[in-house]
Structure 1
Amino acid sequence: MQSCGFCAIVAGAPAFVVLDEPDLLAFLDVRPVFKGHTLLVPREHVETLPDLPAELRDPFLEALQRLAQAMEGALGAQGSFVAVNNRVSQSVPHLHAHVIPRTKGDGLRGFLWPRHRYADDEEAEAYAARLRDGLEAPPTS
């Protein structure tokens, strides 16, 4: 896609590349939460995680594992935060996973949004049942 910023990076636009493989590319986020914040993208233009072709699932997850491990070994982080947005809050419509180095006391609190409790166990079970049904339904694409 010509208007996709990540496709432009895949095609050679300037970026601070961290991982360069035939199907995947990882580079530093230009607006990092913390220094070392890395984005992993498939080279092929794929908009969301559900769109990721089956043959890229294992390589994508394996690269995420290596990046999370590198946050600790190379940067001295105590852990990492790994996140993927699908459409909502997805600033670039090209699948990308954030791998962010973390240390205790770094100021990032849990997830980046408020939590909402279930009213009771019955409501929680109703949501669980809806999701179980959704997993059994055929994909809607």
Structure 2
Amino acid sequence: MLVLAPITRDNLPDALGVRLTPAESHRVAPAALMLAKCHDRPGAQVWHPFLVAERGEPVGIVAVSIDRDDRLGGAQSAWVHNLLIQAEAQGRGLGRAAVAAILDWLSSEHPSVRRVGLNVRAGNDAAFALYSSFGFGDVGRTRDGRTIMLLEV
């Protein structure tokens, strides 16, 4: 069973140990950079870093940011950042399970979220297909060429 566990001091070494193969490392920012962003909290968002674990073993990391200002109860947006599944754990459906867990967490913990976004780097066809299968749609490009995908929830 896959679990999203908030990253704390206790599991920080596990989170920092999550790595891709060198050939894949250009697709997702390293764990340390993602965690630094969570600490810095750029923009008007609250960041939630998670360790992705399967049967108690760390297999990945992800961060979710939520708009701070819900504009008096209006719809909020969330962004998924740096979903990374370790190379040796890939191909077992853990990315799919992680996306489902993130959407479940948002639904239960942040029910005012109505839009979930993420960016996919050019050439990351597996990620694009995964997110498309959940209903994320291609809505444009970032300045550096990443695909912006949104899901209305």
Same fold (TM over 0.5): no
Which structure has more strand as a fraction of its residues?
Answer: 2
Higher helix share: 1
Identify the TM-score tier after normalising by the shorter chain: 0.3 to 0.5
TM-score, structure 2 normalization:
0.37
